[in-house]
A and B are shown apart, each in its own frame.
Chain A
Amino acid sequence: MIVTEFDLATSLLAILPEIALTVLALIVLALDLSLPKGQHRTIAIVAGLGLGFTAALPLILWPGSQATPEGLYWGGMVRHDVLSQIFKVMVLLAAGITCLMSIDVKGVGHRGEFYLIIIVSTLGMTLMAGAADLIMAFLALETTSIPLYLLAAFKRGDQKSAESGVKYFLFGSFASALMLFGMSLLFGFSGGQTSLYQIGQYLGSQAFADNAIPVLGALVLVIVGFGFKISAVPFHFWTPDVYEGSPTPVTAFLSVASKSASFALLVRFLMAVFPAALVIGDAQIKDFWVQLMAASAVISMTIGNVIALAQRNIKRLLAYSSIAQAGYTLIGVAALQAASTDVQAQAVASVGFYMFMYVFTNLLAFTVVILFSEATGSETIADLAGLSRRSPALALMMTVGLLSLAGVPPTAGFFGKFFVFNAAVQADLVWLAVVGVLNAIIGLYYYLVVIKVMYVDRSEDEDKPIPVSRPYAWVLAITSLLVIVLGTVGAQVVFDWAVRSAGSLFVG
């Protein structure tokens, strides 16, 4: 992989979304300082719309266009390609929607700095999507995580929020220290390279003729770090507590944006440093990491789904569900080892599509949870009883979200799972796809229980509708529309387009 010759104009264009985010962060900071108290809505809308417009930039600057050809920029620090652009759009939209859905949340959305921290964290995530260098990857990861620790503990005086902050911080910094040690070993094994692509080349070349064991050790350390970020079992211990204790918009943001950016980096890492063709001293490295990914996928799905069956708190249920969803996505990551590049492109596209639909599905479900818990102060599933009579529209939205998480047509979740399982079958991992389907059936049960509570169970508050202010109505409309469109007419179109674009990742 050759570093593109330095040209200031194209290099700046390649990181235009990041520059726009920095400017937006400064604007929000200035607004927070200058606006009188009680004007937080303006800040939220500026941040939300700003992030939304920024999400259009990666689409305008699509790689392959004349202005910004695909390649490595800034001395190999960031890579501008399809993978990075898809995930940038994803995290930017997720952040924008999160800003809009925190407007009315007490103790969170009323403080301007909340939006600033979200934007800074998003800046880290967009860099994660494009990082092609160990230094950049680490910096981007920490730029994402450190603001997230703050967000988790954002509700001052709330014991649960402080507790979730301290847990997230301690687990998170421990995991990143482990990952960093793995990175430092990779730096050494490759003779002092930091570019991910050069490390991969060096490990496969004659220059590195040593045995594979130390490299596998470094790989395991790095995967532990990623496993933490995507909350895959066995590195999921923090997930339920942090999801339950954090303010709900933060939980939503954590569960979608941080997870999808980490998947982007994980896919890039495996493709660049440990490509399917890598052989070190007669040892096929891919065999090792595929088994690692497959094992993690199986136990994440199973443990996530089984423990979710026993949950009474809706945020905790969604936390275990998000562990299971990480497991489904890991099936797509495992399929990256396929021999033919066509199947590899399919695997990348399926991971991208799964995360894309998961972002909107989960944000939809969490928006309903926010509206419900702000109105009633409760997060218990049993208290959702009678929601279908109380606010029929909200109950319908929640149903769409839950069905999509469960993977029932005509929602996006069905196609997300279908493409991931299909990629696994194409990559000769039929057993993994079968385990995935079995788990989807277990998952269906607890999602349906929530729907049953909303529609069948009665409560005394049925005559008290839940107020929905305009930004929330917009968020609900956008996310539910996307979930339905991606689950019907849009699915095949978007996926085919993603496969075609992903094909260019494997040329040269």
Chain B
Amino acid sequence: MVPLWAYLLVAAGLFCLGAYGVLSRRNAIAVLMGIELMLNAVNINLVAFWRYLSPLNMAGQAFTAFIFVIAAAEAAVGLAIIISVYRSRQSVIVEDVDIMKW
């Protein structure tokens, strides 16, 4: 059987990839994709922990299901906001969104 740490390693790798995407991409949509990757890494973590540590308690699965729902809601709201920026500025490049600076 695949050991638990292998799943955790995949999740950590995926999480780092997502975080790298958020920090390095200039396109707001790509940043959003990075955030989705991070959330999926969390899901892998939760499901692996649930399966190996407490398969009788469904809390881990329930948590994962809720994260799916929240991720969907977040993406819907986020895309709506990005579209409204695109309408006013014809660009989704994060660096162009810079009227306000200190």
Contact = CB atoms under 8 A, between A and B. Distances in A.
Interface residues of A, number: 42
Contacts of A307: 102
A146 B94 CA distance: 20
Contact of A185 (B45, B53, B77): B45
Contacts of B80: 150
Given A153-B84, A173-B35, A187-B46, A180 B28 contact: no
A181 interface: yes
Contacts of A173: 32, 35, 74, 78
A142 B97 CA distance: 25
B42 A184 contact: yes
Interface in B28-86: 28, 31-32, 35, 38-39, 41-42, 45-46, 48-50, 53-54, 57, 59-60, 62-63, 66-67, 70, 73-74, 77-78, 80-82, 84-85
Interface in A303-351: 307, 316
Interface stretch (A164-172, A393-401, A430-438): A164-172
Interface residues of B, number: 46
Across the A-B interface, give the 8 residue pairs with the lowest CB-CB distance, nearest first.
A192-B54, A188-B49, A177-B38, A184-B45, A192-B53, A194-B59, A241-B100, A165-B81
Given A166-B28, A177-B42, A185-B45, A138 B70 contact: yes
Nearest to A194: B59
A174 interface: yes
A229 to B, nearest CB: 15
B63 to A, nearest CB: 5
A181 B54 contact: no
Contacts of B42: 177, 180-181, 183-184
Interface of B: 8, 15, 18-19, 22, 28, 31-32, 35, 38-39, 41-42, 45-46, 48-50, 53-54, 57, 59-60, 62-63, 66-67, 70, 73-74, 77-78, 80-82, 84-85, 88-89, 94, 97-102
B45 A170 contact: no
Interface stretch (A154-162, A268-276, A413-421): A154-162
Nearest to A180: B42
10 contacts: A134-B63, A135-B66, A138-B70, A149-B77, A160-B99, A181-B38, A184-B42, A184-B63, A240-B102, A245-B99
Contacts of B88: 157, 159, 162
A10 B22 CA distance: 45
Interface in A386-407: none
Q: Which of B18, B54, B62, B84 has the most CB of A within 10 A?
A: B84
Contact of A169 (B57, B70, B78, B101): B78
Contacts of A240: 100, 102
A170 B100 contact: no
Nearest to B97: A163
Given A142-B73, A174-B22, A181-B41, A162 B50 contact: no
A409 interface: no
Nearest to A183: B42
Interface in A227-270: 240-241, 244-245
B22 A159 contact: no
A295 interface: no
Nearest to A240: B102
